[in-house]
Structure 1
Amino acid sequence: MTAEKKRPSAAADFVAGNMSGMAQVIVGQPIDTIKVRLQLDHTRFNGAWDCALQTIRKEGFFALYKGMASPLVGIGAVNAVLFAANSSIKKAMQAYPGQTLSIGQIAIAGAGAGIVNSALASPVELLKIKLQAQYSNEGGAGRQFKGPIDCARQLIRNDGFSALFRGMYVTILREIPAYAGFYSGFEVTKRYLTKGQEEDATILQLMASGSVGGMSYWLASYPLDVVKSVVQNQNGPLPRGLYVTRVMKEIVAREGTAGLFRGLAPAVVRSIPAAGATFTTYELCMRAFSS
């Protein structure tokens, strides 16, 4: 008789989420930098490949990792909160321990976790975007911010502590459909790939399922991510009211409808290895805690 697996604790969920977030950043940061730069400057680059070449040629290869310190620590914490919240919501929805939830319930739990996640994700992503958006030569000349801590200090000094939460409203709006797609995309694919299979999903099955979850994240939320990047990179007074539609109209007036989808291709490409690594790391960590 095989020993019954113990149920992972909330602390295990938190640690596994943290590790998965770090894996996501390490794998996906260079393409994320390209995505953000395309979202913020529609005249400087002629597509994702040109953005990558210009960045490397003018600023060096490691410019693709700009802003990595903030998400490496921050996204680890963000994912820890995200996965812990998602697990808690799913447990609350179960009629009995171990109940298999419907895909609709998985999506609702993901959306709820996204709302909880926004409070931490918004300032972490703001610092990342500010650092990714600044251009300098290979020696670093021309930088406004020396790193995430210096960036936070300058923002607080100039505009107060609330400056770190610029774009919170649109972050919440993005995270609701994004994480509904993220978790349901993963679960649908995983169930399909492991149908009739007694053992746990293999690493390849987890990677494939995570990749679909990552693509679902962006396809469910992308125009809102463009708005978020634009708003978080702005200076001056914080936007007031229901500014999302106003910013969308401004983007369309300036660039056409295509402007709302600028950077979508690198975002989806990045999600394949990044989300695959995220879910695989999380699942393997949770299995280790369960053994």
Structure 2
Amino acid sequence: MSELQTLTPKPSQSGWRDFVAGSFAGMAQVATGQPLDTVKVRVQIDPHRYKGPFDCIVRTVREESIFALYKGMASPLIGIGAVNALLFAAYSKFKQIQSPFNGELEIWQIALAGAGADLLTLFPDLSLGAVNSVLASPVELLKVRLQAQYTPRSSSIPSPTLKQYKGPVELASHLVSTHGIRHGLFRGFWATFLREIPAYAGFYAGFEYTKRKFGGRHGVELGVGQLMTAGAVGGVCYWLSCYPLDVVKSMVQGSEKPQERFYVFKTIRTIYRQDGLRGFMRGMSPTILRTIPAAGATFTVYEFSMRALNKM
């Protein structure tokens, strides 16, 4: 990632720094991108309610208030910090595995390290940071379910028939008590896992490639503008690498029914039957607009946090 990540210290020395810096980066990501993320989720799950992303924003603010765009923020604000912390730590360790002597990796190796932060979920003995999907799946499930809640403030607008939850704790309790851990709190785990593999390959490769174009190699520290730009490119590459799978994940996690066997393939067929190939692109525009400042903030906060922590 940065010159500090290119020259990654041994994991035993830098693991806690990755964890702390990743936590700050995750919080910056959520705080920056939550409103447009809510628009993305609503358009993905209930496309026939809105004419498009802009209509979703207007109707959400008009019918529910501007604070409705921040629904579900508590879950990722707390959870994404831990997710990003372990993700960055796993990414650093996977780079260390590929280059024990801290040599500069090729871009394809950076992509492999990014994918490995999720792939290593299947091999937890290799890295504690490999449990990214295990953490990300319930965090995103709670976020998606709360974002999708429609709570009109006007009595003239029909009230939703589904039960409304006040926050992630109440929702998590309901899911576990009603459907158990696997089909409740971890609904959509495999959809999340499959999304994360190409997503983080694109995420880190896009960032590192752009950073190097700015001259961010050994011993060179990039400025805020350059880091924000490189982070934005990484974010765009993230979504271009995985977006159809994100639509599948949101549909699965937003469903009231527990998942069935082969639910990923069944959901893909359902989306295609309803809207064709364009159904897999629902909500793409607000997602790209959101990721530019959100991913830029994520990498910038991470980089500057690492610089500060490495001086301690």
**Structure 1 69/83 Cα, relative in aligned 2: closer, same or farther at 3 Å?**
same
Q: 1:225 aligned to 2:229?
A: no
**Structure 1 93/66 Cα, relative in aligned 2: closer, same or farther at 3 Å?**
same
CA distance in 2: counterparts of 1:253 and 1:109, whole angstroms: 36
CA deviation after TM superposition for structure 1 residue 137, in Å: 1.9
CA distance in 2: counterparts of 1:152 and 1:196, whole angstroms: 44
Match for residue 174 of structure 1 among 195, 217, 221: 195
Kindly provide the CA deviation profile for residues 149-192 of structure 1, in whole angstroms up to 9, marking residues without a partner as x.
00001111111122111111111110000000000000000000
CA distance in 2: counterparts of 1:159 and 1:33, whole angstroms: 25
CA distance in 2: counterparts of 1:201 and 1:159, whole angstroms: 48
CA deviation after TM superposition for structure 1 residue 139, in Å: 8.0
Greater shift, 73-82 or 188-197, is seen at 188-197
> Tell me, what secondary structure is at the counterpart of 2:72?
coil
Where does residue 35 of structure 2 map in the other structure? 30
Within 5 Å, which residues of 2 pair with 1:1-291?
Answer: 7=9, 9-96=14-101, 98-115=102-119, 116=130, 117-138=132-153, 144-162=164-182, 163-194=184-215, 199-241=220-262, 243-291=263-311
CA distance in 2: counterparts of 1:40 and 1:186, whole angstroms: 30
CA distance in 2: counterparts of 1:206 and 1:250, whole angstroms: 40
Amino acid aligned to 1:217:
Y
Where does residue 124 of structure 2 map in the other structure? none
Gaps of 5+ in 2: 1-6, 120-129
Contact 1:159–1:236 (8 Å) recurs in 2: no
CA deviation after TM superposition for structure 1 residue 193, in Å: 1.3
> Tell me, what secondary structure is at the counterpart of 1:256?
helix
How many residues matched? 285
> Tell me, what secondary structure is at the counterpart of 2:257?
coil
Gaps of 5+ in 1: none
CA distance in 2: counterparts of 1:239 and 1:75, whole angstroms: 27
CA distance in 2: counterparts of 1:6 and 1:220, whole angstroms: 26
CA deviation after TM superposition for structure 1 residue 257, in Å: 1.3
**Structure 1 205/166 Cα, relative in aligned 2: closer, same or farther at 3 Å?**
same
Provide the aligned C-alpha RMSD in A.
Answer: 1.9
**Structure 1 269/94 Cα, relative in aligned 2: closer, same or farther at 3 Å?**
same
TM-score, scaled to structure 1: 0.94
Identity of aligned residues (%): 53
